[in-house]
Amino acid sequence: MSRRRRRLTRRRAVGLVVVLVAGAVLVAFPRLLGDGSGETPPGAGQATLPTGVPSGADEAVVERVVDGDTVLVAVMGERERIRLIGVDTPETVKPDAPVDCFGPEASAFTTASLPAGSTVWLESDATQGDADRYDRLLRYVWSPDGTMLNERLVAEGYGREDTYDDPYRYRDRFVAAESAAERSGTGLWGACG
């Protein structure tokens, strides 16, 4: 074999080794370079959750408030209807039903708490299932200040604690908040008798 041919063979071998090593790096460390799907790897590029918001909560943008306990949001560009877990506010938009006492106030409170375009975080609860019979996602809604809207509605008398079937994660907190609101005549407890 000629000297020139040996150099070419050696270069090819070195080139092949470089390609194999680069391939091994891509296979062994996909999170460093992305997985090729175009999606950001979990945890990469995500803003830090506000203090008080549980890890695993999904970021969403408020589109509009339907009533005191139902909100439309966009999650990763998809529109979702959210039913707040653990609280039932007086009705304002139920077909063929009158507006309940303190319903407009509850809707106004939720609207003021969740202005259109604002960012919130949604927390699911495995004890409640993912959605209700109306296909609304069941979630706790967390504000940027780390407070949970569901609990605030109960604590400030805009809604009643509501356990549907199985006790939910924060039930004890909601029951205590409702008792305090009722004792002090806060919100609907003072206005609706």
Q: Which of 83, 139, 152, 160 is catalytic?
A: 83
Which tokens hold the place of 52?
């008080």
Q: Which of 80, 123, 136, 139 is catalytic?
A: 136
Give 96-145 as a DSSP string: TSPPPTTHHHHHHHHHHHS-TT-EEEEE--GGG-SB-TT-PEEEEEE-TT
Q: State yes or no: is 136 an active-site residue.
A: yes
Q: State yes or no: is 178 an active-site residue.
A: no
Q: Which of 80, 91, 105, 123 is catalytic?
A: 91
Show contacts of 170-174: CB within 8 Å, 24+ apart.
Answer: 170/85, 170/86, 170/140, 171/86, 174/86, 174/87, 174/150
Q: State yes or no: is 91 an active-site residue.
A: yes
Residues assigned a catalytic role: 83, 91, 136
